């Protein structure tokens, strides 16, 4: 076990460090690869995995694998897969177009989903694709954590708004 790991307890706040589960039936603490938040009442909120793995209906893929497929998607100048807000929507796709296409947003969403279906098991293909104005990347082509957070906030706000209607 990683020496920086610590035991999860209700008396110690989680600060993003590695956590381990300890229980009488476990021979030793087991490292967790999950994002956890310790709530004020001592309960633990499980917020998903720390790694890039996404599991949907027993099928697994990674954000990296989905992003590699998205890089070859027609009609999109850029696209990125992100974790969704819940198990009901575990994976979201964000697509930026170059503005040159004559396709409407719905047609782009369908084209992206068809492209993903050609490469992934159907249960792994998100039901929704979100069109965003742009996806900022660094000089090396990476999407920064700050950019992903801003895009995620934008899409989550859109999801909440659609739930209110």
Evaluate if pTM is beyond 0.75: no
Residues 102 and 157 placed together within one structural domain of the fold: yes
Residues 33 and 113 placed together within one structural domain of the fold: no
User: For residue 161, what pLDDT is reported?
Assistant: 78
Q: Give tens-digit pLDDT for 21-77.
A: 778 887 877 766 666 777 778 777 766 556 677 778 888 888 888 988 998 887 667
* Helix axes of 105-117 and 63-70: crossing angle, nearest 10 degrees: 120
Q: Is 1 a member of any domain?
A: no
Measured CA to CA, the distance from residue 81 to residue 1 in angstroms comes to: 31
Q: Which domain holds residue 127?
A: 53-164
Measured CA to CA, the distance from residue 42 to residue 17 in angstroms comes to: 17
Last residue of a domain, one of 31, 49, 67: 49
Give, for 97, the enclosing helix (H) or strand (E).
none
Per this entry, what is the length of the chain?
165
Residues 113 and 155 placed together within one structural domain of the fold: yes
Residues 111 and 44 placed together within one structural domain of the fold: no
Q: Which two tokens stand for residue 122?
A: 């159907």
In the chain, how many domains are there? Answer: 2
Residues 140 and 154 placed together within one structural domain of the fold: yes
% the chain with pLDDT above 70: 75
Q: Is 77 a member of any domain?
A: yes
% the chain with pLDDT above 90: 10
Q: Give tens-digit pLDDT for 62-90.
A: 888 898 899 888 766 788 888 777 777 78
Q: Is 40 a member of any domain?
A: yes
Identify any residues that bridge with 20 across adjacent strands, giving them in sequence order: 7, 31
């Amino acid at each position: 076990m990683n020496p920086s790991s610590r035991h999860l307890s209700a008396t110690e706040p989680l600060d993003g460090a590695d956590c381990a589960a300890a229980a009488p039936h476990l021979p030793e603490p087991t490292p967790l690869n999950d994002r956890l938040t310790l709530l004020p009442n001592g309960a633990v909120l499980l917020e998903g995995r720390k790694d890039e793995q996404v599991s949907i209906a027993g099928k697994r893929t990674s954000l990296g694998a989905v992003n590699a497929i998205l890089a070859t998607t027609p009609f999109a100048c850029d696209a990125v897969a992100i974790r969704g807000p819940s198990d009901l929507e575990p994976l979201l796709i964000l697509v930026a177009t170059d503005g040159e296409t004559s396709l409407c947003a719905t047609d782009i969403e369908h084209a992206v989903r068809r492209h993903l279906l050609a490469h992934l098991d159907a249960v792994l293909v998100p039901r929704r694709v979100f069109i965003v104005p742009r996806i900022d990347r660094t000089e090396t082509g990476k999407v920064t954590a700050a950019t992903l957070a801003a895009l995620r906030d934008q899409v989550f706000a859109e999801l909440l708004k659609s739930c209110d209607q």
